Amino acid sequence: MTETAGVVAITLPQLLLAAGFMVFVGVISLRLALGLERDLAIATVRTYVQLFILGLVLRWVFGIDSPWLVLGLLLLMVGAAAQTIVKRAPDAPKGLFGSSFVSMALTGFIVTFAVTGLVVQVDPWYRAQYVIPIAGMVLGNSMTGIALALERTFADLDAREGELLALVALGATPWEAAGPSVRTALRAALIPTINSMAAAGIVFIPGMMTGQILAGADPLAAAGYQIVVMLMVAAATALGSVLAVMLTYHKRFSADGVFIEKGLREDAR
Amino acid sequence: MKAPLLEARDLRVVRSGDAGPLKVLDGASLTLERGEVVDISGPSGSGKTTFVRALALMLPDVAGELFLEGRPAAEVGARVWRSRVALLPQKPVIFPGTVRENLLVPWRLKVRHDTTPPGEDELRAKLDSFGLDDVALDRDAAKLSVGQAARVAMARIGLTRPDVLLLDEPDASLDESAAAMVASLTVRFAETGAVVRVRHHRPDGVATRRERLVAGRLHGVGDSD
């Protein structure tokens, strides 16, 4: 075990010890016929490979510290997140990638740079060591919220098919017809965030604060960071979800406001 | 010459069927005057629902022309059109809330913001006229029977005073006496407006004209029952 500046570095034996626990879990899975051995092995290997690569990439990025590299990396992250959102909402209409990308990019960038620029006051503004991890947290969390909001919106619209037909027939605009579904979906998307804010510090120690404490930071300073990040993540989730849903719900309506129900879709599954 | 109340010219709808493109409507035309009740029948799957939905501008991708008192649909505007050419879907829809709230749903919509919603007396009278004397306005609409729900949905659309009523199988969930009541209300509505009904029950003496939808076109069956 080596210790530098209050940080206990993890070395090869410790990494292997962690894997040993996974072997143990694998044995249990085998004995109980859970059929998870393969998935466990793959997941374990992926954890090792992906996180080490991430470490190497970040080390390289931090070393170069170029604003273009940081912005490019952020765009790549947003793209990957938008792709994930599209996959998680299979019932949504086509053209979801664009609006997901825009929502993620807009809220992600604004919130990330609000944290690094105004709260943490990073100098220079693109300092990768701050920008990338904070963007990762903001994008990761808002991605989950946006995916949930979109999935719920289109599932609820389909469930209310008859109601939508009647409402549009009475002269409703797409917004008047879809409104209840949008509200239901946004509420569903924001509740996990609100819950985790309410439980923070009592039920669990949030991830970033844990990391900072393990890295030797003063717990109070770590708490300050965590508060800022949590509120910002909540804001990003809320704004991103609202934006994404507002940009997409009308895609289920024709140009003159008719709800395109399942029976009318060419791509209906 | 005065333009007809509603005119549909050469409506065409193509859907992808199991065996290639399917012409659901293939030049369907209809002219409708005030005072008329037109019944549309036809084999199941012949496009009767598609046709009335097209008349209400409730279908995307319809080719052909539609006119309301001589004005093309695009000029009237889809939402105003739908408020005047009202479609009652086959499956009665009841919204969460009381019967009163259900009857007032149309007035929560922007398209009717400059009209006054019906008062308590008018709502009551409307329900009574549909034989719903025993249904309180405060009743939770979710507790209505299927037949009651169908009539509340009809009362709701009637309150909006459209010019044309499009009824997709209005008798489907009604018993004989309720159906008779709805039939006589249909006659009364047609004194000032016009009605198109999708119907394959035997004639009930209400229709002034009957049409059959076959191979995507309407064919006159006779001038009356």
Q: Name the β-bridge partners of B37.
A: B195
User: What angle, rounded to 10 degrees, do the helices at B176-189 and B146-159 form?
Assistant: 10
Contact A85, A143 (CB under 8 A): yes
A92 and A203 both lie in a single domain: yes
Q: What percent of chain B has pLDDT over 70?
A: 98
When the pLDDT of each residue in chain B is averaged and rounded to a whole number, the result is 92
CA B192 and chain centroid, separation? 15
Please give the pLDDT value at position A269. Answer: 42
Each residue of A60-87: pLDDT tens digit? 998 888 999 999 999 999 999 999 999 8
What is the value of ipTM here, to two decimals? 0.92
A42 and A143 both lie in a single domain: no
- Inform me whether the C-beta atom of residue A176 falls under 8 Å from chain B C-beta atoms: yes
SS3 string, A9-29, reads ECCHHHHHHHHHHHHHHHHHH
Give B65's DSSP letter: E
Q: Where does the pLDDT of residue B88 fall: very low under 50, low under 70, confident under 90, or very high at 90 and above?
A: very high
Phi, psi of B18 (to 5 degrees): -65, -30
Domain of A38 in residue numbering reads as 1-64
A93 and A217 both lie in a single domain: yes
Would the CB atoms of A258 and B111 count as touching at under 8 Å? no
Select from A64, A83, A116 the last residue of a domain.
A64
Please give the pLDDT value at position A157. Answer: 95
Which residue, chain included where needed, has tokens 């509120």?
A231
DSSP 3-state assignment of B196?
strand
Decide if A269 is inside a domain: no
- Paired tokens of B100: 């009163």
Across residues B60-75, what is the average pLDDT?
Answer: 94
- Paired tokens of B87: 């479609």
Each residue of A203-222: pLDDT tens digit? 888 888 888 888 888 999 99
Across residues A242-253, what is the average pLDDT?
Answer: 94
Decide if A113 is inside a domain: yes
Select from A18, A49, A64 the last residue of a domain.
A64
Would the CB atoms of B109 and A173 count as touching at under 8 Å? yes
DSSP 3-state assignment of B86?
strand
Residue A198 has pLDDT above 50, yes or no: yes
Across residues A251-264, what is the average pLDDT?
Answer: 91
Q: What percent of chain B has pLDDT over 90?
A: 75
A226 and A186 both lie in a single domain: yes
Q: Which of A169, A171, A258 sits opposite B60 (nearest CB)?
A: A258
CA atoms of B9 and A22, how far apart (whole Å):
71
What are the residues whose beta carbons fall under 8 Å from the beta carbon of A252, sequence distance 6 or more?
A: A93, A154, A157, A178, A259, A260
Q: What angle do CA A184, A188, A190 make, to 5 degrees?
A: 120
CA atoms of A89 and A87, how far apart (whole Å):
6
CA atoms of B138 and A44, how far apart (whole Å):
60
A156 and A42 both lie in a single domain: no
- Inform me whether the C-beta atom of residue A110 falls under 8 Å from chain B C-beta atoms: no
In chain A, the DSSP E strands lie at 2-4, 7-9
Contact A223, A211 (CB under 8 A): no
CA distance A155 to chain B (A): 18
Residue B94 has pLDDT above 50, yes or no: yes
Decide if A138 is inside a domain: yes
DSSP class per residue in A189-219: HHHHHHHHHHHBTTTB--HHHHHHHHTT--H
A165 and A200 both lie in a single domain: yes
Residue A153 has pLDDT above 90, yes or no: yes
Contacts of B109 in chain A (CB under 8 A): 167, 170-173, 176
Please give the pLDDT value at position A267. Answer: 56
CA atoms of A183 and A242, how far apart (whole Å):
10
A34 and A82 both lie in a single domain: no
Residue B161 has pLDDT above 80, yes or no: yes
Q: Which of B16, B56, B60 sits opposite A260 (nearest CB)?
A: B60
Please give the pLDDT value at position B225. Answer: 45
Mutation target vs B (from A156, A160, A167, A170; most B CBs, 10 A cutoff): A170
Peptide bond into B60 cis (omega under 30): no
Decide if A108 is inside a domain: yes
- B 31-70 residues with CB < 8 A to A: 56-61
Contacts of B57 in chain A (CB under 8 A): 256, 258
A45 and A101 both lie in a single domain: no
Q: Where does the pLDDT of residue A5 fall: very low under 50, low under 70, confident under 90, or very high at 90 and above?
A: low
- Paired tokens of A28: 């249990």
Q: Give the start-to-end residue ranges of the domains of chain B.
A: 6-222
- Inform me whether the C-beta atom of residue A254 falls under 8 Å from chain B C-beta atoms: yes
Phi, psi of A243 (to 5 degrees): -60, -50
Please give the pLDDT value at position A6. Answer: 58
Q: Which CATH number fits domain B6-222: 3.40.50.10860, 3.40.50.2000, 3.40.50.261, 3.40.50.300?
A: 3.40.50.300
CA atoms of B56 and B72, how far apart (whole Å):
13
Across residues A33-47, what is the average pLDDT?
Answer: 91
CA atoms of B3 and B8, how far apart (whole Å):
12
Q: Where does the pLDDT of residue B2 fall: very low under 50, low under 70, confident under 90, or very high at 90 and above?
A: confident
Give just the sign of the alpha carbon dihedral A117, A119, A121, A122: negative
Higher pLDDT, A246 or B15: A246
Select from A64, A88, A104 the last residue of a domain.
A64
Q: Where does the pLDDT of residue A11 fall: very low under 50, low under 70, confident under 90, or very high at 90 and above?
A: confident
Nearest to B198 by CA among B93, B59, B43, B69: B43
Please give the pLDDT value at position A226. Answer: 87
A231 and A126 both lie in a single domain: yes
Across residues B162-190, what is the average pLDDT?
Answer: 90
Name the domain count of chain A: 2
Phi, psi of A123 (to 5 degrees): -135, 120
Please give the pLDDT value at position A233. Answer: 87
Residue B202 has pLDDT above 80, yes or no: no
Across residues A40-49, what is the average pLDDT?
Answer: 92
Each residue of A123-139: pLDDT tens digit? 888 899 889 988 998 99
Residue A2 has pLDDT above 70, yes or no: no
A137 and A36 both lie in a single domain: no
Each residue of B122-148: pLDDT tens digit? 999 999 999 999 999 999 999 999 999
Cα end-to-end span (Å), chain B: 28
Q: Where are the alpha helices (DSSP H) in chain B?
A: 48-55, 73-76, 78-84, 99-104, 120-129, 146-159, 176-189
A154 and A210 both lie in a single domain: yes
A229 and A99 both lie in a single domain: yes
- CA neighbours closer than 13 Å in the CB half-sphere of residue A188: 19
CA distance A254 to chain B (A): 6
